[in-house]
Amino acid sequence: MNDQLLLTSYLKTLRLPTMLRECPTVARQCSEADASYAMFLQQLAELEVQHRQAQSIERRIKQAAFPVVKELSAFDFAAVPKLNKKRVLELSRCQFIEQRANVVLNGAPGVGKTHVAIALGREACRRGYKVRFFTAAGLANAYHEAREERHLLRLENHIRHMDLIMVDELGYLPLDRTAAEHLFGFFSQCYEQTSLLLTTNLPFADWPQIFAGDERMAGALLDRLTHHVHILEIIGDSYRLNASVTRTRKQAKADKTST
Ligand code: ADP
Ligand code: MG
């Protein structure tokens, strides 16, 4: 076997696909620059590491199952001046995950709760944390299906392996008794093990409403949830509504000038 074939086979055995792919280019560049053998190897290894890191971020983002792509860089903080930007940026550094603390984003529909939540979740993925996004209804449904199919253990194991679980739209739909119990069980399991990031339109005082009117269940849950919690209130007008009003006005103006 010639040298080239041997090297290809070794790099394949060692599972170093980027080194294999980039080897000719880096070799040429290093020889032109008169770089040392050590420098050549270092550059190749660096490319392999960078590629792997990018791939694992991609994988974590895919596994998180975010419904859409949202980033903090696209969030207009000026639209919600009462939201503390510094605190949001601080949360994006993900220390709360290390501390197994929770985050609750509270606000009316359309103020940007899901946007901020997904942006924080994606940042957590980039920082190496395992994240999973659910809507409250979707999570209740996953429990329902798991129970029917006796897959509950698998679902709970899956949860245990996560660093951050996001539950969006808590309180939008009232849950029936069984769903409320599932969700209660789920949140209890996360207590001090997995961070939770919840978004809700309801103040804590109204949480019994979410849990089938059961004050005791809601109280016990809040007690655990708020033991270590960062609460962010987003107060403002619906961004969605404002955007569509602006769009309609622009359209009306354009229609007027074209006629
Ligand atoms: P909520 O979850 O509070 O109902 P969303 O996060 O779904 O609201 O926001 C509704 C839409 O408006 C989304 O497309 C979101 O990206 C956008 N949006 C909301 N607030 C802002 C903001 N401050 N800057 C940029 N886009 C925003
Ligand atoms: Mg939302």
**Smallest CA separation from ligand 1 atom 20, residue:** 112
**Smallest CA separation from ligand 1 atom 9, residue:** 112
- How many CA atoms does the CB half-sphere of 254 hold within 13 Å? 6
Find the 116 Cα to ligand 1 centroid distance in Å. Answer: 8
Specify the higher pLDDT residue, 47 or 82: 47
Mean pLDDT of 77-101: 95
Q: What percent of the chain has pLDDT over 90?
A: 64
Check whether 240 has a pLDDT greater than 90: no
> Which pLDDT band holds residue 1 (cuts at 50, 70, 90)?
low
Check whether 252 has a pLDDT greater than 70: yes
Burial class (CB in 10 A: 0-12, 13-18, 19+), 175: buried
Mean pLDDT of 189-212: 91
Q: Which of 201, 233, 240 should be mutated for ligand 1, with most atoms under 8 A from CB? A: 240
**What is the per-residue DSSP string for 105-120?**
EEESTTSSHHHHHHHH
Convert the pLDDT of each residue in 110-152 to its tens digit: 999 999 999 999 999 999 999 999 999 999 888 888 877 778 8
At 259 the pLDDT is 64
Q: How far apart are CA 124 and CA 131, in angstroms?
A: 7
Nearest atom (ligand 1) to Cα of 118:
6
Residue keyed to tokens 């942006």: 119
**Smallest CA separation from ligand 1 atom 21, residue:** 112
Q: How far apart are CA 39 and CA 156, in angstroms?
A: 47
At 256 the pLDDT is 74
Q: How far apart are CA 229 and CA 91, in angstroms?
A: 11
Write out residues with Cβ below 6 Å of ligand 1. 70, 74-76, 79-80, 107, 109-115, 239-240
**Cα→Cα distances 120→92, 144, 153, 191, Å:** 5, 28, 28, 20
Find the 201 Cα to ligand 2 centroid distance in Å. Answer: 9
Nearest atom (ligand 1) to Cα of 70:
16
Find the 234 Cα to ligand 1 centroid distance in Å. Answer: 11
> Which pLDDT band holds residue 154 (cuts at 50, 70, 90)?
confident
Q: Give the predicted TM-score (pTM) of the model.
A: 0.88
| Positive/negative CA dihedral, 176, 183, 142, 116 | positive
Among 51-65, 166-180, 183-197, 244-258, where is mean pLDDT lowest? 244-258
Find the 75 Cα to ligand 1 centroid distance in Å. Answer: 8
Q: Which residues contact 151 (CB under 8 A, 6 or more apart)?
A: 145
